[in-house]
Chain A
C-alpha cells in the first residue's frame, strides 16, 4: 500500500485509526513516514480549528427565544415574577 491509500485510511478513520485493529499497518506506516505523520497532524489541526471557532448566538436572540417560549420571566424555581 502506498502513502495515498494510507492517507485515505487516515481520512476515513482519523484518530480511531490509532486504535482500530484493522489499521495496524497504517500505524506502522505512520511511524516510518514523516509525510503521512504530517498529514495526520494537519488533519488534527484543521478539525481543532473548526471546533475552536464557533459562531455564537447573539445575546438578544436568546432573550427573544425565551420570550417567544414564554420562559423569559421566571426565577430558577419556574415561578413567574
Chain B
C-alpha cells in the first residue's frame, strides 16, 4: 500500500467508515496470522490472538494519532499480543505448541512468486523445520527476525515496536539470521 493510500484509508477509518475497517482486516489478516502463528505455534491460540488484535485496533482507532504509520501501529498491537500470550503461557508453565502440523493438520500456506527447484522441495517436512528452527530462538529474537526479514519493516521501526534499542535489535537479528541459515544448511547437507 502506498503512503497516500494508507493515509486515505486512515482518514476513512477515523471517520468511522465501516467498509474501511473491513478493508483493513482483509488487507492484513494473512500477514498478521502468519506472524502470530510463527510466534505462538498453536492454531487455536493464533485465531484468538488475531481476533484480539483486530478488536483492539477497532476500539483503539479513535485514539490513534497517526504519528506512526497504520501498519506499524497494527504490528505493534500484534507484537504486544503475541508477547503477552507467551508470557502468560510461561507463567502457567504449559506448552501449547502443537505437534508438527504435517502430521495431523491441514497446512494453510501461500506460495508467493515464481517456483524454483528448491520451492518444489518445499515439503510439509521442510515447512515444519523452518518453523521449528525459528521456535528454537527466544521470543524477542524470533520477533525481530519475523518483523525485519519476513515483513520487511525497517530495523529502527522494529526496535521501537518491540521496545528495545536499535543496537539490541540488530544484535538479535544477527543471531537469528545465523541460526536459521545454519540450520537450513545442515538440513540440506543431511539430505544430499
A35 close to B (CB within 8 Å): no
Nearest chain A residue, comparing its CB with the CB of B111: A52
Chain A: interface secondary structure? helix
Q: Mark B6-35, 1 if CB is under 8 A from A, else 0.
A: 000000000001110110011001110110
Is the CB–CB distance between B109 and A53 below 8 Å?
yes
Q: Are B21 and A11 in contact (CB under 8 A)?
A: no
Q: Does A21 contact B (CB under 8 A)?
A: no
Q: Is the CB of A55 within 8 A of B18?
A: no
Name the contact of B17 in the complex, choosing from A8, A14, A47, A78 (C-beta under 8 A).
Answer: A78
Q: Mark A6-23, 1 if CB is under 8 A from B, else 0.
A: 011001101000000000
Which of A7, A49, A61, A77 sits near B50, CB closer than 8 Å?
Answer: A61
B21 x A69 contact (CB < 8 A):
yes
The reply to whether B119 and A52 contact each other, CB–CB distance below 8 Å, is yes
Segment 48-81 of B: residues with Cβ below 8 Å from A: 50-51, 54-55, 58
Give the total of B residues in contact with A, Cβ under 8 Å. 46
In whole angstroms, how far apart are the Cα atoms of A71 and B16 in the complex? 12
Q: Determine the chain A residues whose CB is within 8 A of the CB of B149 once the complex forms.
A: 14, 47, 50-51
- Please give me the residue from chain B that is nearest to A75 by CB atom: B19
Q: A11 contacts which of B34, B112, B178 (Cβ < 8 Å)?
A: B178
- Which residues does B use to contact A, with CB under 8 Å? 17-19, 21-22, 25-26, 29-31, 33-34, 37-38, 47, 50-51, 54-55, 58, 108-113, 118-119, 122, 126-127, 130, 134, 145, 149-150, 170, 173-175, 177-178, 180-181, 184-185
Q: Which A residues lie at the B interface, using CB under 8 A?
A: 7-8, 11-12, 14, 39, 42-43, 45-47, 49-58, 61-62, 64-66, 68-71, 74, 76-78
Q: List 30 A-B contacts (CB under 8 A).
A: A7-B178, A11-B173, A39-B181, A42-B181, A46-B181, A49-B122, A50-B150, A51-B150, A52-B112, A54-B30, A54-B34, A54-B110, A54-B112, A55-B38, A55-B108, A55-B110, A56-B33, A61-B29, A61-B47, A62-B25, A62-B26, A65-B29, A65-B51, A68-B51, A69-B21, A69-B58, A71-B18, A71-B25, A78-B18, A78-B19
6 shortest interchain CB distances as A-B pairs: A57-B33, A78-B19, A56-B108, A71-B22, A11-B174, A55-B37
